Amino acid sequence: MRPWRSVLYIPGSKERALEKARELPVDAIIFDLEDAVAVDEKVAARETLANALRAGGYGGRACVVRINGFDTEWGAGDLEAIADTGPQAILLPKVNGRADIEALDARLSQDRTTAETRIWAMMETTRGVFHAAEIAMSPRIEGFVIGTNDLAAELGCETGGDRMPLMMALQTCLAAARMGGIVCVDGVFNAFKDDNGLRAECQQGRALGMDGKTLIHPAQVAICNEVFSPSEAEVSLARRQIAAWEEAGAAGQGVAVVDGRIVENLHVATARATLAKAAAAGGKG
């Protein structure tokens, strides 16, 4: 298990940002060749990013490359330019259905350097939301990234406040990800100077069950890591639940009680997952 608490977008065209990312306390980096790169920089950005990936130095951070879609003039060239770096994963924008993932899988299968490369899907269209279940069961698929800005634009809804207009899409994608056993990462919070707003949205995402959140600025990393990490109180409760369950089992009892609440095997499974997340995030599991 690896943590996915903080997933930071880095423009593939910015050498300084690519260098700085090697020192940031993020769990994952999305090296972006799509939205974060201007049209007149897209071709040059491929070489800039490929050089950075070949140089390495990103430690244990998960490294994902977002290419342009294959319906654009840049998608195929993006994939070709970074293929020899053996990318850990490719993030495909505007995934509408399983066929989009299968098409990328076929391209990756043609090159031995991308034989182990996984696929992530940007869930940012209404068609993609309604096909989320089939996308989550596609070949090579490892995770969903929710594209809340594009979804909101297509729906014509507001994105601020409690995000209730987006709730159906968020929960549908998350449920599909859980069915497929893959990661699901929440969308970005645009107001990168609004710490209170960011914290509230991170807390909402965690309450929904998201594994983490995509970020647009390094200043957002600390809050995101904090909120998506199990707290000391949660770790303590998890340990006590496991201990009580094991003690009850040794006494021939089917349930235990902790803090006045029944503890059954499903609670113990959740408790063990909490400890695993804490350990993966660098805390005490």
Instruction: Check residues 134 and 252 and name the one with the higher pLDDT.
Output: 134
What separation, in Å, do the N-terminal and C-terminal C-alpha atoms of the chain show? 12
Query: How high is the pLDDT of residue 72?
Result: 97
| CA–CA gap between residue 224 and residue 199 (Å, rounded) | 7
User: Phi and psi at residue 143, in whole multiples of 5°?
Assistant: -170, 165
User: Using alpha carbons only, what angle is made at residue 195 by residues 193 and 196, rounded to the nearest 5 degrees?
Assistant: 135
Q: Quote the percentage of the chain above a pLDDT of 90.
A: 89
Query: How large is the average pLDDT for residues 221-247?
Result: 94
- The band of 175, judged by pLDDT with boundaries at 50, 70 and 90, is very high
User: In this structure, are 112 and 245 located in the same domain?
Assistant: no
Domain residues for the domain of 270 are 232-280
Residues 129 and 245 in one domain: no
Shared domain for 136 and 255, answered yes or no, is no
Q: Of the ranges 182-191, 240-249, 261-270, which is most confident?
A: 182-191
Residues 186 and 271 grouped into a single domain = no
pLDDT one-digit tens code per residue, 189-223: 999 999 999 999 999 999 999 999 999 999 999 99
What's the domain count of the chain? 2
Instruction: Tell how strand 261-263 and strand 256-258 pair up.
Output: antiparallel
Q: How far apart are CA 240 and CA 263, in angstroms?
A: 10
Q: State how far the alpha carbon of 277 is from the alpha carbons of 12, 35, 160, 274, in Å.
A: 30, 31, 29, 5
Region 236-243: mean pLDDT is 93
Same domain, 123 and 264: no
What pairs with residue 176 in β-bridges?
A: none
* DSSP per position, 45-85: HHHHHHHHHHH---TT-EEEEEPPPTTSSSHHHHHHHHGGG
| pLDDT above 80 for 160 | no
- Alpha-carbon distance 275 to 245, whole Å? 15
- CA 269 remoteness from chain centre: 22
Task: Name the amino acid, one letter, at 90.
Answer: I
Is there a domain that residue 71 lies in? yes
What is the rounded CA–CA span in Å between residue 273 and residue 193? 33
Q: Which of 25, 21, 23, 27 has its CA nearest to residue 2? A: 27
Same domain, 15 and 119: yes
- 177/128 same-domain check: yes
Q: Are residues 134 and 148 in the same domain?
A: yes
pLDDT score of 283: 60
Task: Kindly state the tokens that stand for 3.
Answer: 């943590």
Which tokens in the block code for residue 269? Answer: 């499974």
Whether 45 maps to a domain, the answer reads yes
DSSP H or E stretch at residue 44: helix 42-55
Q: Is residue 285 part of a domain?
A: no
In this structure, the answer to whether residues 38 and 146 fall within a common structural domain is: yes
Average pLDDT, the chain: 95
How do residues 68-119 score in pLDDT, each as one tens digit?
999 999 999 999 999 999 999 999 999 999 999 999 999 999 999 999 999 9
Is residue 1 one of the residues assigned to a domain?
no
